[in-house]
């Protein structure tokens, strides 16, 4: 999981660039993951990142509301590094 997050983070600015196809970036990430022994497709990697991003958003939403118990998540800090400054997370 951390490998996926690190590979995404290293391409963060490219993912924001509308002139670069996201599929190309996901293919690069999958290629690097396969070199490390992970057998995934770009569809699986992209869906996993979408799910992680949604979990991050709901954690942020929950923790920003008063009266709710704070939740923790082992990937929260890494997700903050990737998506924390985005005003519209999700």
Q: Is residue 23 part of a domain?
A: no
Is there a domain that residue 19 lies in? no
Domain count, the chain: 1
Domain residues for the domain of 44 are 1-12+30-64+72-90
Cα 63 from Cα 16, distance rounded (Å): 26
pTM for the predicted model, two decimal places: 0.84
Summarised one tens digit per residue, pLDDT across range 30-63 is 999 999 999 999 999 999 999 999 999 999 888 8
At 68, list the tokens: 């709710």
Q: Is residue 18 part of a domain?
A: no
Residue 24 lies in a domain: no
């Amino acid at each position: 999981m951390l490998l996926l997050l690190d590979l995404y983070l290293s391409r963060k600015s490219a993912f924001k660039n509308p002139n670069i196809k996201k599929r190309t970036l996901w293919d690069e990430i999958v290629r690097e993951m396969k070199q490390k022994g992970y057998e995934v497709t770009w569809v699986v990697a992209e869906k996993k990142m979408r799910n992680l991003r949604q979990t991050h958003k709901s954690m942020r939403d929950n923790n920003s509301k008063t009266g709710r118990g704070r939740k923790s998540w082992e990937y929260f800090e890494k997700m903050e590094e990737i998506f924390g400054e985005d005003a519209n997370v999700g």
